[in-house]
Amino acid sequence: MKKQKVSSAVIRRLPRYFRHLTDLHLTGVERISSSALGKSMGLTASQIRQDLSCFGEFGQQGYGYNVDNLRGEIADILGMNKGHTAIILGAGNLGRALMENFHFDRSGVALAAAFDVSPDVVGQERGGVPVYHVDKLEEYLAAHPASIGVLTVPRGVANPIAARLVRAGVKGIWNFTNTELNLKEPGVIIENVHFADSLLALSYMISEDA
């Protein structure tokens, strides 16, 4: 349970902890010290202890952390056991790639449906996910509530579609549209994914080293 307001930096390190602990678990590691965990992740032991202390006490002095238990605790903190459901808006190239290749279930999210306007995809399945016409969005969400909307629509319709999602009760938006969403409703969380930003940051860093 959270004991304090947690910074964004800590929150964004939690998935790294989960991935790393999963790797350790799969290789048969049962326990690890904060020093060893920090060294393998490129962090200090004090940073790890400070991060985890935001949520409770998980280690034992002289023993360290039980890898499987800590992995489970972090999964709970990340909401991986909350039964979140997602839908995709836009079943084009990127939407299709996510449906067919991204393992939503490994993050504790069930991908239930996708929506599009193209007759080439509406009424079909992609990666086992049914694709409906976007005109059915509100009707679908009334019968099958979803907590996350994944936006892979063209930029020009991103805001209207996002507004429809929010009105239908969606609380989290994973935004791949490369445009800012103008949503004012309280309690709605937007996570923007900008591929170009990451690539340009990489370009800068290798240019500086050249």
> Per residue in 124-174, pLDDT tens?
999 999 999 999 999 999 999 999 999 999 999 999 999 999 999 999 999
pLDDT for residue 177 is more than 60: yes
Residue with tokens 């304090």: 4
Q: Distance from CA of residue 189 to its chain's centroid?
A: 12
> Per residue in 72-121, pLDDT tens?
999 999 999 999 999 999 999 999 999 999 999 999 999 999 999 999 99
Q: Hey, CA dihedral for 179, 190, 80, 35, is it positive or negative? A: positive
Of the two residues 57 and 117, the one the predictor is more confident about is: 117
Domains of the chain plus CATH, in order, are 8-77 (1.10.10.10), 84-197 (3.40.50.720)
d(CA 148, CA 108): 12
Query: Could you tell me what percent of the chain has a pLDDT over 90?
Result: 87
The pLDDT value recorded for residue 144 is 98
Burial 70-84 (b: 16+ CB within 10 A, else e): bbbbbbebbebeeeb
Of the two residues 4 and 67, the one the predictor is more confident about is: 67
d(CA 35, CA 163): 46
Write down the mean pLDDT value for the chain. Answer: 93
d(CA 153, CA 161): 8
pLDDT for residue 1 is more than 60: no
Neighbours of 117 (CB within 10 A): 13
The pLDDT value recorded for residue 4 is 57
CB 14 within 8 A of CB 24: no
d(CA 79, CA 81): 5
pLDDT for residue 2 is more than 50: no
Strand partners, 151: 89, 175
Closest CA to 140 of 175, 189, 98, 89: 89
d(CA 64, CA 160): 50
The pLDDT value recorded for residue 59 is 72
End-to-end CA distance of the chain: 46
d(CA 129, CA 114): 7
Mean pLDDT of 178-203: 91
